[in-house]
């Protein structure tokens, strides 16, 4: 069964890893010192429906909170940000399984028509959500939200990406926007195809102004990004230029790792 998207609470030594494709998606919490499973948390919404899937998560040590992108619930079918108290996770009996709605202090925030993927803790109380909309013709967005209230502070037309990273050295977000399009709108059902081509970019967003500052052409399926604040470099891997299909700006180049200067 596929597992994906983990995050770590280094303060208390807990690693969270999601299993998004289970019939009822769940997260497993692992002790980083012993590698033992501490507990599992299932994601069935208040209406009794299982989550549509789980995406990126982040731990905020300032508020002792795990944040995770929920692909969809009954109340928010196109995405919901879950905020789960770290103390409530540590309070689960060893080896037990608890549903997220039964954990004290859990909060849920609508992400709008988002279909969320990546997640990044920004400066102050900001948290950024990468959206990869599956609605044909919908604006491709990155949502900047307030971590405490869930208010959407900015909707930036720079989405269509997967992984999203915040770099404190430059105070910018970097998004592997593999499904960006020339129009800035989602392709057919959000996918890339010859009839609905994508133009992949590395989107760069200023975290202070919450505005897009650059879109740098990348390569096919370039949905991941890593940023090194010491060397001031961003790294973006690509797949073959011809596979998967639907990239309007790709040639026949092989898979490669593209490096950008963040200065």
Going by C-alpha positions, the residue among 61, 50, 46 that lies closest to residue 12 is 61
Rounded CA gap, 200 and 50, in Å?
32
| Domain boundaries along the sequence of the chain | 1-110, 113-263
Neighbours of 103 (CB within 10 A): 18
User: Does residue 3 register a pLDDT over 70?
Assistant: no
Rounded CA gap, 12 and 217, in Å?
40
Q: What is the pLDDT of residues 57-78, one digit of tens each?
A: 999 999 999 999 999 999 999 9
113-263: CATH number: 2.130.10.10
User: Does residue 50 register a pLDDT over 70?
Assistant: yes
Residue 116 corresponds to which tokens in the numbers above? 């969320």
Range from 14-23, 100-109, 157-166, 249-258 carrying the lowest mean pLDDT:
249-258
Rounded CA gap, 255 and 215, in Å?
20
User: Does residue 4 register a pLDDT over 80?
Assistant: no
Residue 242 pLDDT level (bands cut at 50, 70, 90)? confident
**Stated pTM of the model:** 0.96
Q: What is the pLDDT of residues 199-213, one digit of tens each?
A: 999 999 999 999 999
Average pLDDT of span 215-236? 96
């Amino acid at each position: 069964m596929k597992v994906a998207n983990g995050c770590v609470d280094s303060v208390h030594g807990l690693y969270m890893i999601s299993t998004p494709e289970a019939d009822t998606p769940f997260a497993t919490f692992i002790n980083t010192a012993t590698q033992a499973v501490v507990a599992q948390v299932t994601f069935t919404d208040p209406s009794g429906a299982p989550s549509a899937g789980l995406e990126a998560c982040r731990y905020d040590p300032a508020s002792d909170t795990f944040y995770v992108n929920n692909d969809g619930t009954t109340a928010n079918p196109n995405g919901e940000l879950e905020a789960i108290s770290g103390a409530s996770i540590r309070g689960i009996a060893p080896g037990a399984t608890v549903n997220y709605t039964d954990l004290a202090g859990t909060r849920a925030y609508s992400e709008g028509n988002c279909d969320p993927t990546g997640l990044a803790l920004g400066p102050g109380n900001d948290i950024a959500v990468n959206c990869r909309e599956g609605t044909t013709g919908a604006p491709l967005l990155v949502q900047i939200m307030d971590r405490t209230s869930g208010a959407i502070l900015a909707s930036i037309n720079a989405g269509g990406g997967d992984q999203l990273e915040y770099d404190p050295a430059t105070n910018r977000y970097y998004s592997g926007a593999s499904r960006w399009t020339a129009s800035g709108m989602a392709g057919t059902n959000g996918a890339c195809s010859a009839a609905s081509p994508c133009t992949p970019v590395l989107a760069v967003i200023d975290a202070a102004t919450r505005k897009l500052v650059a879109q740098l052409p990348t390569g096919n399926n370039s949905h991941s990004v890593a940023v090194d604040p010491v060397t001031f470099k961003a790294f973006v891997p690509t797949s073959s230029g011809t596979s998967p299909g639907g990239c309007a700006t790709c040639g026949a180049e092989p898979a490669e790792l593209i490096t950008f200067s963040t200065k």
